[in-house]
Structure 1
Amino acid sequence: MTHPTKLLRGAVSAIALLGAAPMAAGVPVLGVVAVQAQEQLVASVLFEGNRRFSDADLLKMVDVSASGVYTQQRLNADIESIRQAYDREGFMSVSVTARTEAAADGRVRVIFSVTEGDRAGIAAINFTGNNAIGANNLKGAILTKESGILSWLLRDDMYNEQKLAADREIIRRYYANRGYPDVQVNSVAEYDAGRNGYFINFTVNEGQRYDFGNVGIETSIDGLNTDVLRSTVRTGQGGTYSMEDLQTSIEDMAYEATAQGYSFADVRARLDRDVATGTFNVTYLVDEGARIYVERINITGNQKTRDFVIRRELNFAEGDPFNRSMVIRGRTAIEALDYFSKVEISTGPGSAPDKIVLNINVEEKSTGEYGATAGYSTTDGILGEVSLTERNFLGRGQYLRAAIGASQSGRTFDFSFTEPRFMGLKVAAGVDAYHRIYEETNTSFYGAQSTGGQLRLGVPLTSALNASFFGGYERKVITDKDQRPGGNPAFRSAFVNDGQEFNKAFIGYTLTWNGLDDIKNPTQGLYATFSQQYVGWDHNLIKSEARGRYFVPVIQDSGIVASLRGQAGVINSLNGGGINVVEAFQPGAQLVRGFEGRGFGPRTAAGEYIGTTMFAGISAEIEFPIPGLPENYGLSGAVFADAGWVGDASDILNGGLQTAASNDVPLRTSIGASLIWDSPFGPLRGDIAHALNKSTGDRTQLFQFTISTLL
């Protein structure tokens, strides 16, 4: 006897089929029941040949797994679903088939067989009509990249029509920010089965180039200080037309008007085109806008991140005046958190004509990083690190990092925690703790174990200037046994003893100026820091350091950027008793490339490096893209010249032991070239340098491999 449940399922399915399509004349209902009799329960679903997607990923794509019922129609739909998923990942030649095997209790086992083939890439990206801007610059700006040696890792060479549409908009904006407001961009993608890749062709109609002409401000608001508003204008007369500068000026002007107490100020730009002179005359109109208030703020999409983490970036709350420039700034601030892959803000009507509802939808991305890295440094040799980093700890926007590192010269244990909005204020508070072990090496006559920590507070003073304050404690125990292989007890340190202990308490501040156009890839602006700290307990001194780097493009939109970097430091003893060697500056390759770490400066007759209480240096560098290499390789070249000066060791305790020859040429200079790689693991660089000026006891180094930094 047929089970009642099966009869019911068959009847329901038959009714569904009858309702879905008209029944042909003369076809009995029994024919539909006969089709449904082919349904079988699924015992299991298996996959073969899949590498790009895991079994768990594919299970989510197939209906026979979710429903537990097998029909040929469902199977065909599942095959197409899998094929489309592979197609979106660039596997154009994928083949998907399915078969069934009998299982127990009359059920079937469904097996999908996948032949992936090779992933299709981007064989070439070509541009026509781009007379003003080079193809390499445009390739660097768009999302789609040509296939290269790192494509297997970056996966940025997949063809996607939505990405291509975004690229057309990127190119249009790229031109519009460089004097071409009327640019038109079209694209065509062709698949070459022989090369298993796409050829993408962009056609650009640039139009006429424009500059900014006369710039003025008109307002109908009594009491508004237009002189202050003028400081927000970035569209100076004679400057190249830029849609971005125009929009930024509007936003900044509206924000400044709000700061003056006019919360409903509305700013628009009136543009008067002069085709004959190729200029746009700009008049900024500042008027009183509609008095609308924010009734409610709805936040959706945040599964992990707490609402308050998003709300505090808006600088306004429910019940406050609605100001479009404030909303735009809030969205930019939320995006800058780097917790979300997408941030969308829309408005809706409120309960009254003068009220509005703000809807914020976000899409979260991973903020945790668990990593084990290995590398090589010319100073520390082979090194490695295991770390845990969470940038949005417990969804509260807090930063947490713990790391264990090891190298041929020692081991490190670090912990750091930061609360970006301490007590709800725009103050970042944090704590750091560390334990570091440094061994005796060929460049250091003694080792040490340092354990310490600090508390810190960071306060923004202006949009570009930040101040941080810190204070902490460190205990350092000296290891001075010359335990190096083949070591000679005669080469122990002349300044410290084995087991000697130093305690220090320190307090200080750092001022940071960030005027760069892009913190990751700067092309223009100044980045500078100045710090001072008092060091007490077993010491009594003040350390002062200043560092800065100024960037300027050599040729606009060429990728060639020049920079000038300066640095200096001085230590002042407050009791006149001298500076202990453990607190001395140890400038080396970071001051002048072409020298080893601790490679130049005052030394003892035995060759022990002492350090100094004063140093200063300047470096000039030109960075450029490497011709012929695709931009997505992340490789660039540079040439540089360094000059650095170090003082003697007369202020260092027992400094009389150094020989004059170890610092007989206080000014060191070098020239060289670099290869810089913006790698997935961080910016790395290799420097080849030749020392021009050096002292008798200096130790030079032809090649240096380091992490690239701003300062």
Structure 2
Amino acid sequence: MAGAQKTGGRTLVGRNGLQKVAVATFLGLSTASIAGLGPVAAQSYSFTDVVIEGNQRVSPASIVSYAGIGRGEQVSAAQLNAAYQGIVNSGLFETVNIEPRGNTLVITVQEYPTINVINFEGNRRMDDEELQALIKSTSRRVYSPTQAEADAAAITQAYASAGRLAATVEPVIIRRSDNRVDLVFEVTEGKVVEIERLAFAGNRAFSDSRLRRVLSTKQAGIFRALVQSDTFIAERIEFDKQVLRDFYLSRGYIDFQTLSTTTELTRNRNAFLLTFNVREGQQFRLGRVTVTSEIEGVNAAAYREAIRAGEGSVYSPSILENNVARMETLAVEQGVNFVRVDPQITRNERDLTLDVNYVITRGPRVFVERIDIEGNTTTLDRVVRREFTSVEGDPFNPRAIRQSAERIRALGFFSNAEVQAREGSAPDQVIVDVDVEEQPTGSLGFGVSYGVNTGVGLNASFSESNFLGRGQAISFGINTTTDSRALNFSFAEPAFLGRDLRAGVAFNYRESTSDDADYNTRIGSFGPFIDFPLAERSRLRLRFSGNYKELSNVDTDNSFILQQEEGSYSTGEVGYTYSFDSRNSGLDPNAGVLVRFSQDFGFGDKSYVRTTALVAAEKAVLNEDVTLRAEFEGGALSYFDGGSTVLDRFDLNGKIRGFENNGLGPRDLNAPDEDALKGEMFAVARFEADFPLGLPEEYGINGGVFFDVGSVWGLSDTAGGEDGSDEVDDAFYLRSSLGVSLFWDTPIGPLRFNFAKPIVKKDYDEEQPFDLTISTRF
């Protein structure tokens, strides 16, 4: 049988194979019939009766309608062939035969079988449920070879999108009784085709390693079994070309082009060599910046003050976008609607500058008729709707709609979010369509840990950033080790009272009960908070909490000061935190600043003021291959009633590397173990740089150097023991350390290995030359 191959009771169906058999049969019979009728009779037929044979499910009338031949009509040989094609194209029959017998037309059909079950064999990387969602063939429906071939192609494409370009899928049928078949898709997955080398040609301003960090496509590395971004996917490369252009545009290279991408298979054909051929062009800066108004009564000078980047700044589309948004917002605040700000750019080739004139014009009078949201099966409409600054009836602003779309994507609730505008019920009305695709927003984790000092630990955590589809965040965690236990819970509503107010509550509890420790502790706190924006990049958080602290089981060999502090107390606390952050939204994409200032006022068993401040900055230099960071942090604790305890005071744990926890600061020198007492004031400065080591980019390993300097000092109560023999050293002494770091970007997270050597220290300080941490930014 042409087009079909039987193997062990299974039939491998080729495309249109069965139909070709039927065509050959028909042509042979019709030729023989026509030859017997002679030259004149061969031109046409006339049938007084049509007989249907072989049909089981399809009615004779339906088959006759597919043929399109009526009784008594003159029918040519071409019309007979068209009748045959009409029956075949119905997709209901495995074979079709049309045979003229005198005045009777006999149509013999064999119906396609019914699909009994659908199975998948050979699939390992994709489970049956994933493959089932890709196909259109279904059980208890008529089997179609064409559809089975289309389903096989869809599965093959899914494997190709996952980097398995060698995957093959064959549809196979197994005959059963009662004209039924089992449809089996035999899958050969093949191996992942990786990107062995990712290179660039034509780049001068930025190195290959810097550009690789921009792209979502990665080179295959030592974690190739876990990392999926190193597989070759054509669609991802197109996305990377746009990302690469955005990277250069944001740095002033307005003429940047990706001329082509070259892909070559390696000799053993199991990996690709991918090269981006680029043309960078020249970097442009902003030249003369002006504002003109074409609207009567609108003063351009007032809008000139809203511009945040002036002459000499490196050009970036985001600078223009942000300035336009500020000016349009100012117009709304002044009660001027339908204002459009059009940045007109003049290019100066001689000095490589771009003059920008922001033209204030009157836009079309178009209103938002309604906002339609689709695809949100879990998330409530109001969660999406509140990301729009426009509501039904407001003037339509395309820029505001685009910004709303970006905010919806930034929620993290959706894998895809498309926002489009279309004409409404009238020319001056616009309907905004929001089409989203939900994605998982929660996580549940369990873990086991081990530490030399802490022993075996168990931890469990749960978090959900879109609780009940309301956009609320909830988290819960528990951590227990041999000597300690910790519990935390938090809940936050990001749009309290329908405004940009984030409100919530937080609960934290931890205790230590080690028999080997100098003392046991128990600390708990619970309270609400609320934060809101003050300006474009600054926020203010207000909070209240009730606190309980207990210091117990202080050994009699410990410092007399610790013995005096033993006991429990409760306090209330009111505080605020002001923060300014330009790291992700500043004018310079290579630099960022973070400022944070906090104060907490305590009352109850103790009265105090705790003040902390942090100023941090970072900047990428040397074509963004090296990142420099500087951090300055300090704090002061002032008690008015009750005095501080070791549970309240500051330590420098993790703030000056190279020292153990509680390894520096005020100490009771006469105590047997020279107990650490912590301090009521601290100040530190940290400087570091990280840079590539020249290792293959796919290893994800960078190097760094750092220098830390600072001190913690001061106790309000240094009274000695009963005999006055205690000697407390709480003076201000600078400590400093110098070290190197290794940054390793692994699938489980970015790890940081610090090797530090204290340079300036006291004799009683305790060193820690090595530590391993999760790498974070300030």
Tell me the TM-score normalized by structure 1.
Answer: 0.89
Alignment gaps of 5+ in structure 2? 1-52, 68-83, 101-105
Distance 1:35 1:150 in 2: 58
Residue aligned with 1:202, SS: strand
Distance 2:60 2:605 in 1: 86
Structure 2 equivalent of residue 83 of structure 1? 156
- State the identity %: 31
The reply to whether residue 617 of structure 1 matches residue 684 of structure 2 is yes
Structure 2 equivalent of residue 602 of structure 1? 666
Deviation at 1:562, TM superposition (A): 1.1
Q: Is the 8 A contact 1:452 1:475 kept in 2?
A: yes
Q: Is the 8 A contact 2:679 2:730 kept in 1?
A: no
Q: Which structure is larger by alpha-carbon Rg, 1 or 2?
A: 2
Instruction: Show the 5 A alignment for 1:35-434.
Output: 36-37=110-111, 39-70=112-143, 72-97=145-170, 99-101=172-174, 107-185=180-258, 186-192=260-266, 194-374=268-448, 383-434=457-508
Which of 740, 751, 771 is the equivalent residue of 1:673?
Answer: 740
Residue aligned with 2:389, SS: coil
Deviation at 1:559, TM superposition (A): 3.1
CA 69–638 in structure 1, closer or farther in 2 if over 3 Å, else same: same
Residue aligned with 2:583, SS: coil
Distance 1:452 1:22 in 2: 74
Structure 2 equivalent of residue 647 of structure 1? 713
Deviation at 1:70, TM superposition (A): 4.1
Structure 2 equivalent of residue 453 of structure 1? 526
Q: Is the 8 A contact 2:713 2:732 kept in 1?
A: no
Q: Is the 8 A contact 2:113 2:142 kept in 1?
A: yes
Q: Is the 8 A contact 2:96 2:110 kept in 1?
A: no
Distance 1:586 1:114 in 2: 60
Structure 2 equivalent of residue 702 of structure 1? 769
Q: Deviations over 1:557-616 (max 9, x none)?
A: 4231211101111111113x522232222223x221100111111222222221111111
Deviation at 1:192, TM superposition (A): 3.6
The reply to whether residue 638 of structure 1 matches residue 704 of structure 2 is yes
Residue aligned with 2:187, SS: strand
Q: What is the letter of the counterpart of residue 186 of structure 2?
A: S
Instruction: Show the 5 A alignment for 1:534-613.
Output: 534-555=601-622, 557-575=623-641, 577-588=642-653, 590-604=654-668, 605-607=671-673, 608-613=675-680
Structure 2 equivalent of residue 486 of structure 1? none
Deviation at 1:523, TM superposition (A): 4.3
Residue aligned with 2:322, SS: helix
Residue aligned with 1:136, SS: helix
Q: Is the 8 A contact 2:665 2:678 kept in 1?
A: yes
Residue aligned with 2:119, SS: strand
Distance 2:738 2:439 in 1: 44
Q: Is the 8 A contact 2:753 2:771 kept in 1?
A: yes
The reply to whether residue 690 of structure 1 matches residue 757 of structure 2 is yes
Q: Is the 8 A contact 2:457 2:480 kept in 1?
A: yes
Distance 1:678 1:222 in 2: 57
Q: Is the 8 A contact 1:411 1:437 kept in 2?
A: yes
Q: Is the 8 A contact 2:245 2:257 kept in 1?
A: yes
Distance 1:367 1:33 in 2: 59
Distance 1:42 1:447 in 2: 70
Distance 2:721 2:366 in 1: 71
Distance 1:227 1:378 in 2: 66
Q: Which has the larger displacement, 202-211 or 140-149? A: 202-211
Deviation at 1:308, TM superposition (A): 1.1
Q: Which has the larger displacement, 96-105 or 641-650? A: 96-105
Q: Is the 8 A contact 1:517 1:523 kept in 2?
A: no
Q: Is the 8 A contact 1:663 1:696 kept in 2?
A: no
CA 41–359 in structure 1, closer or farther in 2 if over 3 Å, else same: closer
Structure 1 equivalent of residue 48 of structure 2? none
CA 81–271 in structure 1, closer or farther in 2 if over 3 Å, else same: closer
Q: What is the letter of the counterpart of residue 583 of structure 1?
A: D
Q: Is the 8 A contact 2:542 2:575 kept in 1?
A: yes
Residue aligned with 1:29, SS: strand
Residue aligned with 1:152, SS: coil
Structure 1 equivalent of residue 30 of structure 2? none
Q: Is the 8 A contact 2:657 2:756 kept in 1?
A: yes
Distance 1:597 1:10 in 2: 89
Deviation at 1:432, TM superposition (A): 1.2
CA 75–423 in structure 1, closer or farther in 2 if over 3 Å, else same: closer
Deviation at 1:90, TM superposition (A): 1.3
CA 227–625 in structure 1, closer or farther in 2 if over 3 Å, else same: farther
CA 655–663 in structure 1, closer or farther in 2 if over 3 Å, else same: farther
Which of 10, 14, 18 is the equivalent residue of 2:85?
Answer: 18
Residue aligned with 1:84, SS: helix
Q: Is the 8 A contact 1:392 1:398 kept in 2?
A: yes
RMSD: 3.4
CA 84–354 in structure 1, closer or farther in 2 if over 3 Å, else same: closer
Q: Which has the larger displacement, 372-381 or 558-567? A: 372-381
Distance 2:261 2:433 in 1: 34
Residue aligned with 2:371, SS: strand
